[in-house]
A = this chain, B = another copy of it.
Amino acid sequence: MTRVAILGYGNIGRAAEQAIKAAPDLEFAGIYHHNDCLDCLEADVVLLCTPTREVPKFAAVLAAKGICTVDSFDIHGQICDLRAQLNPVCEANKTVSIISAGWDPGSDSVVRALLMAMAPKGITYTNFGPGRSMGHSVAAKAIDGVKNALSMTIPLGTGVHRRMVYIELEDGADFKTVEAAILADDYFAHDETHVIAVPDVDALNNVAHGVSLVRSGVSGETHNQRFEFNMEINNPALTGQVMVSCARAAARMRDRGEVGAKTMIELRPIDLLPGEKESLIKALV
């Protein structure tokens, strides 16, 4: 049994615990917190369910101890840097770090790679939502006069999104002033944005999310090849599950000596699944 521990215990950590316990081939190796001493940690793989900015630090510390990690690091522009930074540490310590292993980046990346292999020329549009954007919610909450905020991402197609920003005002704050400040903020200035005052933001909270990946492309010389991948999911539950499936892959890769820092498009899909190769091929191929 592969022993899988969790570092950090927010929404994703809790979902990951459930996914580990539901897996027939994994053993739950406990929860650790950011300030715990990690020297006594006993696990084959640690899931980094910390805030995304803390991932690089913990991944490097654990890789240096020869422990596999899986994270859902989601700052798209910094993924290659994280991979380049972790890769030599993993190689030196004969371990595996699977990075950016949520749904986007993560499973969506695998779908995008597959669609490009099926129709190399063309455009893939990634349409997010409807669902909460953490980054935009935090940006709205930082505006003067905003007590609490929820920014929903609404897909308008071809990768264009509307922002529906629900805000709870501080006592005495002026709605029009706050609205103008939100619309001028760099997070919102480039998208169609609607600001709505509500008495209680928390009453609107919902971890549902979704995506629609759309590609029209060319296979060989044949145009008009059309593809679409849609999902409507509980966001932390899916993120936690993808991380747990990647924990299995990390342990298998380390056992085969395939060490290093890897993104999900560098993994064999069969390694994500429990069970024997032959029966998986029989069931899925």
Contact with B along A101-116 (1 / 0, CB 8 A): 0010101011111101
Interface residues of A in 220-264 (CB under 8 A from B): 220-222, 224-234, 237-238, 240-242, 244-245, 263-264
Q: Tell me which of A17-25, A43-51, A56-64, A183-191 binds B.
A: A17-25
Complex alpha-carbon distance, A170 and B270, angstroms: 49
Q: Tell me which of A130-138, A149-157, A196-204, A277-285 binds B.
A: A277-285
Interface residues of A in 77-106 (CB under 8 A from B): 79-80, 83, 100, 103, 105
Complex alpha-carbon distance, A221 and B238, angstroms: 10
> Is there an interface contact between A266 and B265, defined as CB atoms closer than 8 Å?
no
> Is there an interface contact between A226 and B220, defined as CB atoms closer than 8 Å?
no
A267 at the interface (CB under 8 A from B): yes
A273 at the interface (CB under 8 A from B): yes
Contact partner of A238 among B219, B228, B272, CB < 8 A? Answer: B219
* A contact patch SS: helix
A117 at the interface (CB under 8 A from B): yes
> Is there an interface contact between A117 and B245, defined as CB atoms closer than 8 Å?
yes
Q: Classify chain A: how many residues form its interface, as a range.
A: 35 or more
Known A18-B220, A220-B18: A114·B111 in contact at CB below 8 Å: yes
Known A117-B272, A220-B18, A220-B240: A226·B231 in contact at CB below 8 Å: yes
Complex alpha-carbon distance, A254 and B141, angstroms: 53
Chain B residues within an 8 Å CB radius of A119: 238, 241
Complex alpha-carbon distance, A174 and B245, angstroms: 58
A118 at the interface (CB under 8 A from B): yes
